[in-house]
Structure 1
Amino acid sequence: MLELSGINVAYGAAQILRDLSFSVRAGEILCLLGRNGAGKTTTMKAIMGLLPLLSGNILLEGAPISALPAHRVPKAGIGYIPQGRRLFTELSVAQNLEIGLLARGSGPEVLEDVLTLFPRLRERLGQRAETLSGGEQQMLATARALCLRPKVLLLDEPTEGLQPSMIEAIREVITVMRDRGVAILLVEQRVDAVLSVADRVCFIENGQNLETLDAATLRADHSILERHLGV
């Protein structure tokens, strides 16, 4: 579904990603794990066209998307929930969702499906996004991305700072989307959250591949996590 092949990315003279390669299959949750500064968020931004590639390719269903301008990447079917949410805070919940619907011309049935997944947002459609709690804002950011009808969903630290009930709500939606065949790339610092939902884990360090393993292997042998993350 989504494949990164030997991508190299830099901020100015500082190279961050070095020949990074991995793939995310349809109906799979792949978690990107690494220490702070490993290049996880940079990878997300590169996929979304927010950072240019020095070399390498990014493919969606076998078609190259590396050269697409950033505004075209969501239209291709990639939803992105960045760290910090990046909502239009002065707009209402409904207006934020409408922006998501417009990106790929989604109809009212998509909105209804999203509100079924996030019933709390249905109760707050008229509220400005800035008045929502942190957990509700994360729900809105996720719901807006789902309005794209994404083939691939990128989530960067979706549970950061959330209370347990909100974490569980987000986790449930992620697993629902996986079961619907969406390819999901997850960046998450909470190892327990990773192991509860991930199918595979890709470890990176200094922007390079270390190894990719089934999550079941990590659940059975925590020494691998200690070796790569120092936890």
Structure 2
Amino acid sequence: MLEIDRIDAGYGRAQVLRGLSLRISPGEILCLLGRNGAGKTTTMKAIMGLLPLTGGQVRLDGQVISELPAHRVAGAGIGYIPQGRRLFSELTVAQNLEIGLRVKNSGPEVLEGVLELFPRLRERMGQRAQTLSGGEQQMLATARALCVEPRYLLLDEPTEGLQPSMIEAIRQVVVVMRDRGVGVLLVEQRVDAVLSVADRVAFIENGRNLETVAADDLRRDHSVIERHLGV
């Protein structure tokens, strides 16, 4: 289990997260919803060790990982697809994927498994990342994270700016990973996208927990979404 236990974090003197707690189980998709500025991206960075905690802990199967540098958090089994993708734009598709493989010194069988999920990337292995379409770049960012062989996967706004066919392709991969026992923490603004994949939805505001609700309940009754998000 990935446990985020009462964490505090922020930027300089600006505190963003205030005692935030989340639990993600293997084979579960937990979606994080909140208004702009609620602390969703900050939560992702804090889990990955990209932002130091000022309180609380992040634990993976009972082991504290919040004191580890970011590369060791990835090596422990957490893949991260940040908002904006953060690809190495001058490198080829193959080189970007190789960077992911090096985290655990994974072999060609891991790469082959990832390319089975993203056949379009197989056709573009020699192409530089910056020349890909937006949807293909999102595929590459996701594929690179999967090369880490993650036990948990963090996705920050993966459908932003994508056309419907690309959104569906990313959604299918997320569901496949869930079915393979990977726990997923998804930050997503599109409520329809959240409800199409989520098992549970955690609402946050001003870096604090509001409530966590089963997605099935939200599909039947949107009043909780309207109350917290105003949509």
The two structures have a TM-score, normalised by structure 2, of 0.99
Which position in structure 1 is the counterpart of 2:129?
129
- Which whole-Å CA distance do the structure 2 matches of 1:186 and 1:71 have between them? 20
How does 1:66-215 map onto structure 2 within 5 Å? 66-215=66-215
| SS in structure 2 of the partner of residue 153 of structure 1 | strand
Which position in structure 1 is the counterpart of 2:9?
9
How does 1:45-56 map onto structure 2 within 5 Å? 45-56=45-56
Mark the runs of 5 or more structure 1 residues left unpaired by the alignment: none
| SS in structure 2 of the partner of residue 54 of structure 1 | strand
Which position in structure 2 is the counterpart of 1:26?
26
How does 1:34-45 map onto structure 2 within 5 Å? 34-45=34-45
> How many pairs are equivalent?
231
| SS in structure 1 of the partner of residue 121 of structure 2 | helix
Shift of 1:105: 1.2
Shift of 1:188: 0.2
Mark the runs of 5 or more structure 2 residues left unpaired by the alignment: none
Shift of 1:108: 0.6
The two structures have a TM-score, normalised by structure 1, of 0.99
Shift of 1:106: 1.0
- Which whole-Å CA distance do the structure 1 matches of 2:71 and 2:97 have between them? 17
- Counterpart of 1:63, as a letter, is Q
Which position in structure 2 is the counterpart of 1:65?
65
Q: 1:93-128, CA deviations, whole angstroms, 9 ceiling, x for partnerless residues? A: 000000000011111111000000000000000000
- Which whole-Å CA distance do the structure 1 matches of 2:6 and 2:105 have between them? 33
| SS in structure 2 of the partner of residue 23 of structure 1 | strand
- Which whole-Å CA distance do the structure 2 matches of 1:11 and 1:128 have between them? 33
- Counterpart of 1:179, as a letter, is D
- Counterpart of 2:194, as a letter, is V
- Which whole-Å CA distance do the structure 1 matches of 2:203 and 2:22 have between them? 10
Q: 1:49-98, CA deviations, whole angstroms, 9 ceiling, x for partnerless residues? A: 01111110100111100100112111111000000000000000000000
- Which whole-Å CA distance do the structure 1 matches of 2:20 and 2:14 have between them? 16
Q: 1:144-176, CA deviations, whole angstroms, 9 ceiling, x for partnerless residues? A: 000000001000000000000000000000000
- Which whole-Å CA distance do the structure 2 matches of 1:214 and 1:10 have between them? 29
Quick one: percent identity of the two aligned structures? 77
Coordinate RMSD, CA, aligned = 0.5
- Counterpart of 2:196, as a letter, is S
